[in-house]
Structure formats: C-alpha cells, structure tokens
Amino acid sequence: MKKIAMLLVFSVLFISCNPANDKKVLKTANGRINSLLVVMKNSQWQGDLGNELRKILAEPVIALPQPESQFEVSQVPLESFGSMFKATRNVLSVSLGDENSFTVNTNVYASPQKIITIIGKSEEELIDLIVTNNKKIVSEFKTSDLATVQRNILKKYWDPTKIKTFQEQGYSIKIPRNYNFVDDTGDFVWYRYHIDGANSMEIITYSYPIESENDENGNAIVARRDSIGKKYIPGEVKDSHMITEEAFTPHIFEVTLDGKKAFETRGKWEVKGMYMAGPFLSYSVIDKAKNRVVVVEGLTYAPSVNKRDYMFEIEAILKTLKINQ
C-alpha cells in the first residue's frame, strides 16, 4: 500500500509540474458590447487629453435615427484599476512615461479581452499618438466585440444547406436560430427576430447580375434595393413597400468581405405610404467569378429605442457571408 501511495504522490507531482498543464486560466471578461474602460488620471480625463479621446470614442454611429455614441465610456484612475476592473472586456490605458508607445494586447487578465496601452513622454505627444492611431483604436475594439457577438449568437444557427436560396445561388450566411423564417424563394431570403412587441430585426439576402459599371462601382445600390423592396417586401396597405428613405442619402464605403470587393451601405429605410422607418446596413459584394452582386442586408424596426447594439448584432451576422468558389 505504501508503494501505491508513493506512486500516486509522484504522479500528482509530475502532472502538476508538467509545463503542458501550466496554462493560465483566465476569468470571463465582463462589460457590455460597445463599451470600454479608460484608465488614466482624472485630471487628464477632464482636460485636453480626455477631450481628444471623447472626440473619437463618443463619435455618433452614422445612419441611426437618434444620436448614439459608438462606445459607452467609463473612466478610472490607475490606482483604482483593481481586480474587478481588470476583468473588463475592453480597456484603454493612457499614461505618461519615458518613451512613446502604442501597444495592443489580447486576453491579459480575462477572456475575451482587448487592452490598448498608449504611453507618451508628454501630454502633447500622447495626443499625437491618439490622433495618429484613432482608426486603429476603434477598429481593434470593434473587431474584438464583433467576434464576441458572433461567438455568443451563433452557437446555434439555421443549417445553410437547408435554405433553398443559399443552395441554388451558391452563397450563405449564418442566421441565428432565434430568427424566424419569413421567405425563401430561391432568389431571396428573409428571416426575422422579434425583439419585443412589434419591434424586430430583419435579415435579407439576394443577388443580381452585373449589367453595367454602376453595378460594379456601387452607384446602383439604392435603385437595386428599392426594386427588391417593391418585389419582395410589401407594406400592410395597398401599393406600399419598403424603399430607401428619400430624405436621407445613405453612406457608402468600399470594403472587403469574404476576400472580395464590397460596398458597405448604412442608411435608413421606410415603407412607402406608411409611417414606418428605421436604419439598415447592407454589404454588396462583387462576385466577379459569377458576374453578379451578392447582397446581405439587415434592418431594425424599433421606434423610440436605441438601435446601436441591434445594428451591431446584424453586422456580426452579415459578416459571416461565404460565397462558394
């Protein structure tokens, strides 16, 4: 029995000392999507340095009916950055030091977590670093949050091989199982998630042939989506259907999606002949191999409710697009 006991002791010691088992276990990160914690001196936060950060972090999200900042921001001084705050999902640390540096780290104290650390030899140099890296600051936090949303909402999704349009048209996106089927014609897909009451989030997809330069350069996006709205998305009264809001010009940016040239469009939709409207986001992807444009779009109907996070979830879904080779 003594020999067996000794063998057990040695086995435990071997396992505990084995480098393969010396993996750091991180706590689960806390904090809402599209929120971040700024760690810096109170006096700096209330001065020019803080003002420069707020210009970037509190910039309104475009094409929303009500103004909403792209991040909800909290601030604590370094001496208050204890264990509770260290588990925050998104952290931006700004301080003075002996050298200028801009670093990005992942999963330092918790997971998933993104920490950006900016150090400057003076406040003026700190401001220069912030201005120079303003797009990277936003992109790092947004990309991390998008991945988190995708992990959370896409644990269960509708099987793309069972969706007729995806099979016949040779592309697909991952639609969460809590979105309900509305339409699937072989050319057009429509799924809906009921937020509460009559409020909803909608996912639609379709494609159309490239027939002119306007289709390739993004100049036909509004005309094409309006024709789809007339054909597939009727309103509740006669001759009503979804259109792009005529009083608001959409914002269109050239981006890359699924490795292909695409146009991101952020605008507002309305139902012609009815008092219904809201924001939409679409990606029009140029599929040169099949001489077509593949469109994935999401929109929200939620009057008098903040819609930033709803549209962010839609963005996460749309960016799962895969076009068959």
Report CA dihedral (40, 44, 47, 49) to the nearest 10 degrees. Answer: -70
What's the mean per-residue pLDDT of the chain?
92
**Distance in angstroms (rounded) separating the CA atoms of residues 148 and 35:** 13
Q: What CATH number should be reported for the domain holding residue 129?
A: 3.30.379
Question: Would the pLDDT of 2 be above 70?
Answer: no
Q: What CATH number should be reported for the domain holding residue 294?
A: 3.40.1000.10
Evaluate whether residue 21 is within a structural domain. Answer: no
Q: Are 34 and 70 in contact (CB under 8 A)?
A: yes
Mean pLDDT of 296-313: 96
Mean pLDDT of 74-80: 97
Beta pairing partners, 114: 90, 106
Residue 17 has a pLDDT of: 45
Q: What is the pLDDT of residues 98-145, one digit of tens each?
A: 999 999 999 999 999 999 999 999 999 999 999 999 999 999 999 999
Mean pLDDT of 37-59: 97
Model confidence at 23, pLDDT cuts 50, 70, 90, reads low
Sign of the four-CA dihedral 219, 308, 300, 255: positive
- Please give the tally of structural domains in the chain: 2
Residue 14 has a pLDDT of: 41
Both 178 and 127 in one domain: the answer is: no
Residue 52 has a pLDDT of: 96
Both 90 and 214 in one domain: the answer is: no
Q: Are 62 and 8 in contact (CB under 8 A)?
A: no
Q: Which run of H or E residues covers position 301?
A: strand 292-301
Q: Which amino acid is at 283?
A: Y
Residue 239 has a pLDDT of: 83
**Distance in angstroms (rounded) separating the CA atoms of residues 187 and 205:** 8
Both 138 and 173 in one domain: the answer is: no
Q: Which run of H or E residues covers position 203?
A: strand 199-209
